[in-house]
Amino acid sequence: MAQFLEPLAQYPISLFDSRELSDEIRQDPFTWTDVFLARINQSPDQIFLHIWPMEKTVILGMLDRQVPDLKAGMQAILERGYKPLVRNIGGLAVVADSGVLNFSFILPDKEKRLSIKAVYMLMVDFIRLLFAETGLSIEAFEIERSYCPGTYDLSIAGKKFAGIAQRRVKYGIAVSIYLSVSGDQALRGEMIRDFYVKGKANQQDTIHYPDVDPACMANLSDLLGLQLSVEDVVEQIQFCLSEWLSNPPQIFAVDETLLETFDRYDHATQQRHSHLHP
């Protein structure tokens, strides 16, 4: 087992797939992240695997709300049939739709021994494990002209297909990733490029926003030469945890206490989103 994957074998894993929720009102993934971080701090002897694909959403970072002309930038999103959402994890805008898989590990760090780098590398090595049988090299370095560029961008042959973020609350850590699995990656890149071009409104940046080049990103399906679906990758995640890390995830049943916690945290979520609807 790769060194950075060891924390995934230390505690039982509970699988929460937000697609199984019947209550659409309670599907905000970032509120669930806060809920699971709170649960980890109460009971730090478990790990949550949160699967959270989304439909046609641009997930904005807190800094994206500060573009000089947010209304114009938003139009570049809305005119393509996507909706905006503000996250409290990670930095800048990313795209979610039926061809993109988002998932998170929420894990305890009671002794505070897991460095920021170690947690990023946990996800890097897990993705490498997922696709090890392809024989292709997955690199981790910043793709400067991608959307939401970062040190731990994942790429194959220089083409970015994933980005990673983490959030820490006391003894809990959430490490999240988006994987562009299939669909129109060029459209995703063009949409975020246009968001920044229109949002900056030819004004000088006080915040450095990326100069997005859609050509520097690609889907896993194209990079691997396979017809992959989001469901294929979800199944591979569960296989890897069960067969290679000997820690099969168990389905997590949401109870009333957890739903009450969600409703409490959801108030802060709605405040973040209110900035998008003046």
CATH number of 20's domain:
3.30.930.10
Q: What share of the chain is helix, strand, coil (3-state, %, to 5)?
A: 40, 20, 35
What is the distance between the alpha carbons of residues 88 and 34, in angstroms, rounded to a whole number? 9
Q: Which range has the top average pLDDT, 19-28, 253-262, 265-274?
A: 253-262
CB 62: neighbour CB atoms within 10 A? 15
Judged against a pLDDT cut of 80, whether residue 101 lies above it is answered with: yes
Q: CA quadruple 112, 115, 118, 122: dihedral positive or negative? A: positive
Looking at the 3D structure of the chain, how many domains does it have?
Answer: 1
Give the per-residue pLDDT at 233. Answer: 98
Query: Which tokens belong to 220?
Result: 């896993």
3-class secondary-structure state, position 183: coil
Judged against a pLDDT cut of 90, whether residue 156 lies above it is answered with: yes
Give the per-residue pLDDT at 270. Answer: 64
For the chain, the average pLDDT equals 92
Judged against a pLDDT cut of 60, whether residue 205 lies above it is answered with: yes
Instruction: Look at the pTM and tell me if it is higher than 0.85.
Output: yes
Give the per-residue pLDDT at 91. Answer: 82
| DSSP code per residue over 128-147 | HHHTGGG-PPPEES--TTSS
Q: For the chain, what's the residue count?
A: 278
Query: Which tokens belong to 170?
Result: 């006391």
3-class secondary-structure state, position 276: coil
Give the per-residue pLDDT at 20. Answer: 84
Judged against a pLDDT cut of 70, whether residue 181 lies above it is answered with: yes
Average pLDDT of the segment spanning 132-152: 97
Average pLDDT of the segment spanning 143-169: 97
Domain range for 208 = 3-274
Which residue pairs, CB below 8 angstroms and at least 24 apart, start in 75-82?
75/198, 76/191, 76/194, 76/195, 76/197, 76/198, 76/199, 77/191, 77/195, 80/187, 80/191, 81/56, 82/56, 82/57, 82/58, 82/191
Which ranges of the chain would DSSP assign to H, the alpha helix? 29-42, 70-78, 116-130, 185-200, 220-224, 230-239, 256-274
Split at pLDDT 50, 70, 90, the class of 266 is confident
27 phi, psi to nearest 5 deg: -110, 0
What is the distance between the alpha carbons of residues 173 and 42, in angstroms, rounded to a whole number? 13
Average pLDDT of the segment spanning 211-235: 97
244's CB contacts (< 8 A; 6+ apart) are 1, 129
Split at pLDDT 50, 70, 90, the class of 41 is very high
Active site residues: 148
* Strand duo 94-96 + 139-140: pairing: unpaired
Give the per-residue pLDDT at 271. Answer: 63
Judged against a pLDDT cut of 70, whether residue 250 lies above it is answered with: yes
Judged against a pLDDT cut of 80, whether residue 49 lies above it is answered with: yes
16 or 28, which is more confident?
16
